[in-house]
Amino acid sequence: MKVAFIGLGNMGLPMALNLLKAGYQVAGFDLLQAQLDAFKAAGGISMDSASEATLHADVIISMLPASRHVEALYLGDTGLLARANPKSLLIDCSTISPKVSQAVAAEAKSKGFAMIDAPVSGGTGGAQAGTLTFMVGGEAKDVEKARPLLEKMGKNIFHAGANGSGQTVKVCNNMLLGIQMLGTSEALRLGIANGMDPKVLSDIMAKSSGRNWALELYNPCPDVMENVPSSKGYAGGFGVDLMLKDLSLAVENAQNLEASIPLGKLARHLYETHSNAGNGQLDFSSVFHLKED
């Protein structure tokens, strides 16, 4: 099976490399030459354009930054839907607007393509280890066709529903994660202000009703936990600006549906404040140091 992988960034590159390790023939494209060079050095087939990479592909996987990039890749006279083989299975792993995801999938279907949305959770560490969680939207038969590839890049594959459902789950999950990290950081800082050892406080709360993923596996307080961004100067991991993007998607989605998400809106404002203070490229757990207005 020939696979085309479009978008070899911090997430896309290790995902594509896991497909290579599994024995797939993978042709890739990225706008950055350094990413293409790394892909080629690992045994991938480096291409000069997305159209060239997808020309003979059985499966096309995209992992792009935002909705506009996905629209530009697939739609229009020069998009893949006008150039690729309609027998190719399309898998978009980008995190984008559910509305845009549904529109692109509908256009793909009208041109004879099978397409699923399959955004991921697990960060760069999960991408490298092949332990990502995939949240998949699309027809069941197309999800099953994609499953063998997804299982080489992740360990949890959930079929959420129709096209766009994967994006909806991702938006909801990351909104909750952003809120959770803010609450965990505030609780730890309050304890520290009272003279508590943050590790002792974390250990107790992790066994109490305040337990959560951020507290137990991704503690935002430096030196409480090894091998997490907070103990590495908040380097690596999931950036503040990426969390801000996902929270913006949640707010946009809620506005379109007239749904109430007051905490989601507040979280978006707080991450925006943190980003504007020059912290956009730090891991999102750096909101532990968020300054009050």
For the chain, the domains span 2-162, 168-289
Q: Which option is the CATH number for 168-289: 3.40.50.300, 1.10.10.10, 3.20.20.30, 1.10.1040.10?
A: 1.10.1040.10
pTM: 0.91
Report the top-level CATH class of 2-162: alpha beta
Which tens digits make up the pLDDT trace of 148-200? Answer: 999 999 999 999 999 999 999 999 999 999 999 999 999 999 999 999 999 99
Which tens digits make up the pLDDT trace of 103-153? Answer: 999 999 999 999 999 999 988 889 999 999 999 999 999 999 999 999 999
Produce one character per residue of 49-85: b if its CB has 16 or more CB atoms within 10 Å, e if not: ebbebbbebbbbbbbbebbebbbebbbeeebbbeebe
Produce one character per residue of 127-149: b if its CB has 16 or more CB atoms within 10 Å, e if not: bbebebbbbbbbbeebbebbeeb
Q: How far are the Cα atoms of 112, 173, 246, 293 from residue 250, in angstroms, in the given order?
A: 30, 10, 6, 23
Q: How far are the Cα atoms of 48, 93, 162, 168 from residue 136, in angstroms, in the given order?
A: 29, 9, 8, 10
Band of the pLDDT at 293, cuts 50, 70, 90?
low
- Residues with a catalytic annotation lie at 170
Which tens digits make up the pLDDT trace of 92-105? Answer: 999 999 999 999 99
Distance from C-alpha of 136 to C-alpha of 164, rounded to nearest angstrom:
8
